[in-house]
Structure 1
Amino acid sequence: MKLRNIFLTGLSAVALASCSDYLDVDAPSKNPPEYVFSDKKEMRNALNGVYAAMLTNDTYGQNFIEKLSFNTDVEFKILDSEFASSSAYQRYECDPDGGDIKKAWDALYTGIERANMLIDGIENADIYDEEDSELMQMLGEVKVLRSIFYHDLVWYFGDVPYSLLPSYKSPSKIYDVGDRTEILSDLIEDLKGIASKMQLSTAQSFSDGPQRISKDMAWAMIARLAMTAGGYSLRPEGGEFGTMKRPDNYKDFYATAAEYCDSVVQRTSHSLSKQYHEVFVGNCNYDYTPGDDIIWEIPFGTLSSGNIGYIHGPKMDNQSGVTNHAWGKASSSAQLNALYRYLFDEDDVRRDFVNQLFGYNNQGEAQLNNGRTNYNGKWSKLWNKNGLGSATEGNTGFNFPYMRYADVLLMSAEAENEINGRPTQKAIERYEQVRQRAFPGNSAKVAYTGEMNKEAFLKAVLDERKFEFAGENMRWRDLVRNNMLGEQLYWTFFRYYAAADRGSGYDSPVGEYDFGNGSVYDTKWMNSLYYVNNAPNDNYYSFDKFPQASPNVRVVYIVNPYRLPESGDEKIKIKVDGKDQQVARADYMNWFDENTSRPTAHFCYSLRGYIYCDSKSGSILINDNGNYVGAPDPSVFPSADELPAVRYILPYPRSVITRSQGKYVNQYGYR
């Protein structure tokens, strides 16, 4: 049975009891546990039910990629209200009543309860046998799934209620809160114990490819857990919002990450043989290639679950519920920072594929997106060769690549650098492997040429992750792990502010920070774009035709997407349906409000939970433990230590606090 069908088979056949009341989640119960755990077929059905817990849009199907993927220099959502909100998660602003917090909490604990029940059932079954490879593989899969659920809980909520027992065996329905480092340590040891008994993805019996959790994925997940455990996180002690700290033995965790990254690199067949865009175009065509970049992807059901590709890609409007093309509607609500594209090297093949500057109106005509964010082209319904249907919207069934080999290579580079206090040859080689795909045939751009010290190489690795993982809910986590989130949000705010108000003088320090050149944005940031809407699908884009394999869909031809126009560019004519058509001009970055003499509210308030510009006074304020104070001027180049911590931790849902009967309390300044 292919895992693409788990959404249906898992939910209908999984045999699990109800969860603890305070968790407010339900697990379906079809058969008694003693029946389920006496038969491998029923165990497999129960395992499908654990996989199925991942398929909700409250977590990996949408919200973790959209609403709970926080604003940075990569992912970005425009929020222009000057007033505090209970659910403006992207701008680091919410309260315990935010509905999406409760939905995510319930969904994650649903998965944990199902996993705990199955693990307990397998380990206590009469047929339990550590020499039974099939049984050990199932046990390994469910333990990796449980670690994924807890890993995300720790990232979003910090220290959380913790139990490795099913609720019906727990001495209390109100679990004790576990320290995040201890939770991650337990999960690491748990996976170490089972990984050796699992099958590699190249095993003959492993027919589902990257849709199924393999030994490769178990090793990679150990590395990811260890990187999280060894990194910085916001702790509740010290200050109203807490303090960024990492454990005293953090190097031990990085050593574990390095060891298990080595296992993936040296003992599996994974590579980066596909071109970058082919990895994600493959996602959109249900094309699964074992042994390439994707180690494990969340297996959404074809046209039944998951909004990957609906919330990404060029926006496509419909009319009366249908489009006049075969791809249907796309909301394109998971977007990118408009200035992100300027941070790429001009020869990086990822830039033009990921950053999309046009969408489609309800007539199917290609129109320039002259907005404040860009569409994320990494996934798109348009990449599907045949189209999903003119009446389709969400539930694309495109799988989400949860773990990629590129991530393992860059985790390895980061861990080796941290352990040794400098970049080792191994670290450099693995960093360069990722660069080879980004700069094919360009050895000068592939090679690491920076200073041979820890700080310079860490910046290079994090920059590479910045360009590699757009839209994968990675950037804010990478920055938190290295205590750089406050610094990057600070510069993200001023980058947008400077682009909107070229007279502010902020473009010089921003240019110096980004490129070591205070005048660089004089040529990078353009006031006008010259373009032709609804042009023929010709070879305008470096990753071949747009959309891939869809030549009948029109595009927008942009003369100067990344440079100032040369003399005469505005007079260029191109052939459209055999006729000359002159390019049009659009004021780009027209983001200044003449009435207030400052940037529009879109840029003043999109990071309001941490830094914003007051629309009345024009003061730029930064959130220091709940008190907004004057932000340092960019000309002083404040260090990360000189900027206040960011409250990225979410509050426990209020209903959970209530049901805990006083056992749980919210910290980090939440009321």
Structure 2
Amino acid sequence: MKKIFLVIPLFLLMSCEDVLTEKPKAVAVQTFYNTAGEVETAVNAVYEQLRATNGISGQLGAQLEAYTDYSYGRGSYQVLSDFQGLNSTNIPRTDDGWRLFYLSIRNANLVIANAPKGKNISTADVAKYTAESKFLRAFSYFWLVRNWGAVPIRTEVTLDEANIQRSSVEDVYNLIIADLTEAEANLPETQTQVGRATKWAAKAALAEVYFTQNKYKEARDKANEIIQSQKFSLVPVTVAADFDKVFGPTVVTSSEEIFYLKMTRQNNQGMYLAMFAHHPGTKLHGAGGFYAHYSDTQTSPVQKAWNDADLRKSFNWIKYDIGLGPNTILCKKFSDPLAPTGTAAGNDFPVYRYTDILLMFAEADNRVNNGPTAAGLEALNQVHRRAYGLPATGASAIDFALSGYTVDTFNELVLSERGYETQYEAKRWLDLKRLGTAKLKQVIKAATGKDVADKHLFWPIPVGELNFNTALDPSKDQNPGY
């Protein structure tokens, strides 16, 4: 059985107004943040929102998976695969994602504001838990800024302020980088509890933030720090089933885990996203499945072009007719036949794996040097070799060669490898977005025949935020198209 830390929300899960104004809150602040144990419990409440069933490892992740070039949405997710924006069914889902991220931010702000006031906690523990909270705050803002654009910045300084204007995308990124830099400096290299953020998680997040901003030198250098540490390695794979050692429901941790949202087989404590991939007839999920996403071996260019010798292909997908024909396939990457409920799959949600770092390094290094280098090529080849069941760090017959690639063709090669490697991890759409609107539209058009409407690039600011945050003007602050 997995051993992960339990999240105890306590009073921190009250409404924002209650926390800021109710008298019991003042007593709680004075008496609750005095010991390392109390502060750690408060930090645990920051994780709770990120692991929620409607968050990125659940319903919000399912939203993003309907936007990919390798699969299609079904049912209420089918309209998302038309790439024309959201409807009345989907908008409440993104609204709830907004709510969860800001709850996580609020809980992080409470720790950042109150931990330094504790009377029986060491300076070192204050620094560690503040850094962990800033990592999680940055994590939430990173998801907000990529999916909603400019958003209100709420920090420990503005805990008592309900009405806050949208900040520019640049200012949001400045806060994210400042928080992650502090986290990198003050988080430990390892944690006693699996699933807590570490210094390496902060470095990985910084690498991705820089990568998303097209700051390729900074992204390359930060990714290289992780590579050169030699603290992570790819899990060996010789047959497709070996990938269960990476993604299986009973895996506690692995040599390639840098930061995962940890799940367990308890109701509302498991990976909800897994439920969206399966059909009851496959018996790959104990609760059945929604089969909200699917692909087709004949109509999907991505699936048709994928080499059958790549073990990720047979591990990730299973043929199953859901009423759309015999060529229909379902993603089985995250399977748990013993999941007791739909929200209780034991599979952890990968945020940063070592493969992410290797592939980020390969592309960023290529862009910095205006062409591939031996180091960047080796990083790419490690992921590629493992996918074919070969030792990751030894030269092989399937290696890509250094000659013959330009900066552009090597970027395409890495993008393709990232597409195969990160399927059903809610990463592909954001990976394409960082390359710019023109590139995203080109990739989606080639794979699906669909045109991406501009309004589909960002989710709408929730009506509740526009109604109750008087610093926002609904006529000016809503994202285009909504």
Task: Tell me the TM-score normalized by structure 2.
Answer: 0.86
Kindly tell me: are residues 349 and 135 of structure 1, through their superposed partners in 2, closer, same or farther at Cα, counting changes over 3 Å? same
Cα distance in 2 for residues equivalent to 1:372 and 1:67: 24
Cα distance in 1 for residues equivalent to 2:82 and 2:47: 27
Cα distance in 2 for residues equivalent to 1:447 and 1:289: 30
Gaps of 5+ in 2: none
1:420-431 alignment, distance < 5 Å: 420-431=369-380
Determine if the alignment matches structure 1 residue 11 to structure 2 residue 4.
Answer: no
Kindly tell me: are residues 449 and 368 of structure 1, through their superposed partners in 2, closer, same or farther at Cα, counting changes over 3 Å? farther
Kindly tell me: are residues 73 and 656 of structure 1, through their superposed partners in 2, closer, same or farther at Cα, counting changes over 3 Å? same
The equivalent residue for 1:650 is 459
Asked whether the 8 Å contact 1:306–1:396 carries over to 2, the reply is yes
Kindly tell me: are residues 259 and 34 of structure 1, through their superposed partners in 2, closer, same or farther at Cα, counting changes over 3 Å? farther
RMSD: 3.3
Instruction: Give, as a single letter, the amino acid of the residue that structure 2 aligns with 1:285.
Output: P
Kindly tell me: are residues 218 and 448 of structure 1, through their superposed partners in 2, closer, same or farther at Cα, counting changes over 3 Å? same
Cα distance in 2 for residues equivalent to 1:435 and 1:328: 34
Instruction: Return the match for 1:64 from 60, 64, 76.
Output: 60
Cα distance in 2 for residues equivalent to 1:376 and 1:29: 46
> Residue 124 of structure 1: CA displacement?
4.3
Determine if the alignment matches structure 1 residue 474 to structure 2 residue 448.
Answer: no
Q: Aligned to 1:296, what secondary structure does the other structure show?
A: strand
Instruction: Give, as a single letter, the amino acid of the residue that structure 2 aligns with 1:455.
Output: D
Aligned residue pairs: how many?
464
* Greater Rg over alpha carbons, structure: 1
Q: Aligned to 1:93, what secondary structure does the other structure show?
A: coil
Asked whether the 8 Å contact 1:413–1:427 carries over to 2, the reply is yes
Kindly tell me: are residues 352 and 30 of structure 1, through their superposed partners in 2, closer, same or farther at Cα, counting changes over 3 Å? farther
Kindly tell me: are residues 449 and 371 of structure 1, through their superposed partners in 2, closer, same or farther at Cα, counting changes over 3 Å? farther
Task: Choose between structure 1 and 2: higher helix proportion.
Answer: 2
> Residue 5 of structure 1: CA displacement?
4.7
The equivalent residue for 1:176 is 165
Asked whether the 8 Å contact 1:68–1:90 carries over to 2, the reply is no
Task: Tell me the TM-score normalized by structure 1.
Answer: 0.63
Cα distance in 1 for residues equivalent to 2:13 and 2:271: 27
The equivalent residue for 2:468 is 659
Task: Choose between structure 1 and 2: higher strand proportion.
Answer: 1
> Residue 408 of structure 1: CA displacement?
0.7
Cα distance in 1 for residues equivalent to 2:145 and 2:77: 29
Farther-moved stretch of structure 1 (350-359 vs 274-283): 274-283
1:50-449 alignment, distance < 5 Å: 50-78=46-74, 88=80, 91-94=83-86, 98-126=91-119, 130=123, 132=124, 134-165=125-156, 167-169=158-160, 172-201=161-190, 206-209=191-194, 211-230=195-214, 253-275=215-237, 277-280=241-244, 283-290=247-254, 292-304=255-267, 305-308=269-272, 310-311=274-275, 314-317=278-281, 327-336=286-295, 338=297, 339=300, 340-358=302-320, 370=325, 373-382=328-337, 387-388=338-339, 392-441=341-390, 443-448=396-401
The equivalent residue for 1:248 is none
Greater relative contact order (CA < 8 Å, ≥ 6 in sequence): 2
1:608-627 alignment, distance < 5 Å: 610=451, 623=453
Q: Aligned to 1:375, what secondary structure does the other structure show?
A: strand
1:204-253 per-residue CA deviation (whole Å, 9 max, x = no partner) reads: xx3333x22111111101111211223xxxxxxxxxxxxxxxxxxxxxx3
Q: Aligned to 1:446, what secondary structure does the other structure show?
A: coil
Cα distance in 2 for residues equivalent to 1:50 and 1:326: 28
> Residue 174 of structure 1: CA displacement?
1.4
Asked whether the 8 Å contact 2:365–2:372 carries over to 1, the reply is yes
Asked whether the 8 Å contact 1:309–1:398 carries over to 2, the reply is no
Cα distance in 2 for residues equivalent to 1:289 and 1:122: 29
Cα distance in 2 for residues equivalent to 1:282 and 1:72: 22
Percent identical residues: 20
Kindly tell me: are residues 309 and 481 of structure 1, through their superposed partners in 2, closer, same or farther at Cα, counting changes over 3 Å? closer
Kindly tell me: are residues 346 and 317 of structure 1, through their superposed partners in 2, closer, same or farther at Cα, counting changes over 3 Å? closer
Determine if the alignment matches structure 1 residue 486 to structure 2 residue 441.
Answer: yes
1:526-567 per-residue CA deviation (whole Å, 9 max, x = no partner) reads: xxxxxxxxxxxxxxxxxxxxxxxxxxxxxxxxxxxxxxxxxx
Farther-moved stretch of structure 1 (329-338 vs 89-98): 89-98
Runs of 4+ in 1 over 6 A off after TM superposition: 79-82
Cα distance in 2 for residues equivalent to 1:189 and 1:277: 41
Asked whether the 8 Å contact 2:320–2:328 carries over to 1, the reply is no
